[in-house]
Amino acid sequence: MASTFKSALPFWIGLSMGPIIIAAALLGGFWVLSIPFVIWYVFPTLDAVLGKEQTNPAPSEKGVQLKWHRLNLLLWPILQFFILFGLIAFHKGLDLNGWELTGLFFSLGVMTGTIGINYAHELMHQPRRGDRWLADILMAMVLYSHFRSEHLLVHHRYVGTPRDAVTARYNENVHRFFIRVLKASYLSAFRAEAQRLTRQGLAWYDLKNPFWIYWLLQLLMLGFAYGLAGFWGVLLFAFQAFIAVFHLELINYLEHYGLTRKYLGNGKYEAVQPHHSWNAKHRATNWLLINLQRHSDHHYKPSRAYPLLHTYPKQLAPQLPYSYPIMGIIAVYPRLWRKFMNPKVKAWRAMHYPEISNWQPYNKGTNPPPN
C-alpha cells in the first residue's frame, strides 16, 4: 500500500468538522447542531449509498510510508486547539442566546469526542514521542488524560476480562456503564502506572509518573479557558469535555459489549482474538473514524497504523448491524439496545464457546471456574 494524497484523502474528511462548526457558530439558530447532525445522520446516509468496504490492504507492512495518512493526525490538534479556545474567547461576540450557546458547545463536545479523542487514540499508539505528546494535549482538552495509561496498560491487556473496566458487561446499559467507568478507569489507570513504577523501584509520586503531565496539562487548559473568559470560559470548557468523554465511553461500550475471553483458571485468560471486538464495515464512517470500526484488528495488532487495519468475515469477528453512529443512538435506549444486541451476543457465544454452559459469572464480570 502506497501512501499517496489520493489514497489518504478520504480519511481527511474528519478535518471538515472544523469549518462546519465555525460556520455553525457564525450562523446560529439550529445550525449550531450541525456537527451531531452530520455525524449521526449524514454519515449513516453516506454509508447506505457507498456501502461497505470489504477489502484489505496488502499483508506486508515493511517499508510502507504513510506520510499523507499521518499528516491529518498532526494537523487536527492545532485545528482543535484554535477552534475550542477561539469559541471560548469570542462566545459573547457570537450573538447567540442561551440555548444556541449550549447547542454550540454540545456540538463542540461531539466533535472533540468523535474526532479529537479518536485521533488521540491513534497518536498514543505511535512510537514517536512527539505523537504521544499530541495525544496528551488532545486528551487534556477534554480533561481525560488518564485515558492513555488506561488504554495502553489496562484495556489492551485485559480486554474481555473483569480487570478491564471498559468492557461492557452483558445486560449492562450504557448509562450505568458510563457512571461506573468514570471512576473505575481512572483508578485502574493510576494503579497501573503505580505498579509500573514499583517494578522499577520507584514510588508512585516519582516524576516519571505520567499523571504529573496529565494533571499539569489539564490545569493549563483550565487556566487558559479561565484567562480567556473567566468562570464562563471554564464552564463551557468543562461542558464540552463532559460531552466528549461520554462519546468516548459510548464508543467503548459499543466495541466490546458482552464479549468476554474464556477463563482458563489461575487468573489466566485465553489470548485476545479477532472475535473479542465488535466491528462495522461501513465505508463512510470508517473514513470519518479512521478505521476505528475495524476494531478487532486493532486489538489483534495494536501497533498497526489505521490505514493498514484489516477487516474480517463474520465467522472470525462479530459484526454490528449498523455503523457506530446509529448503534450509539440505539445504545442510549437500553431496551432497544438489548433487543438488537443480546441475541447477537448469544449467537456469538454459541459459535465460539459451545462448551460453556454457565455464562452467569461472565455476565456479572467475575472469574468463572474453568470448564
Q: What is the predicted pLDDT for the residue at 348?
A: 96
Give Cβ neighbours of residue 11 (< 8 Å, ≥ 6 apart): 69, 72, 287, 290, 291, 306, 307
Give the mean pLDDT per block of 10 residues along the chain (371 residues): 79 97 96 97 96 83 77 97 97 93 98 98 95 98 98 96 95 97 97 96 95 98 97 98 98 97 92 96 96 96 93 94 96 97 96 93 84 64
Nearest to 314, CA basis, from 353, 349, 274, 346: 274
Q: What is the predicted pLDDT for the residue at 365?
A: 83
Could you tell me the three cell numbers for 188?
A: 485502574
State the Cα–Cα distance between residues 166 and 144, nearest whole angstrom: 14
Give Cβ neighbours of residue 153 (< 8 Å, ≥ 6 apart): 189, 192, 193, 196
Give Cβ neighbours of residue 288 (< 8 Å, ≥ 6 apart): 13, 14, 39, 43, 114, 115
Give Cβ neighbours of residue 287 (< 8 Å, ≥ 6 apart): 10, 11, 13
The DSSP output letter for 317 is S
Residue 267: CB atoms within 10 Å: 9
Nearest to 177, CA basis, from 278, 271, 255, 285: 255
Q: Sort 309 into a burial class: Cβ within 10 Å, 0-12 / 13-18 / 19+.
A: buried
Q: What is the predicted pLDDT for the residue at 176?
A: 97
Nearest to 29, CA basis, from 130, 100, 124, 118: 100
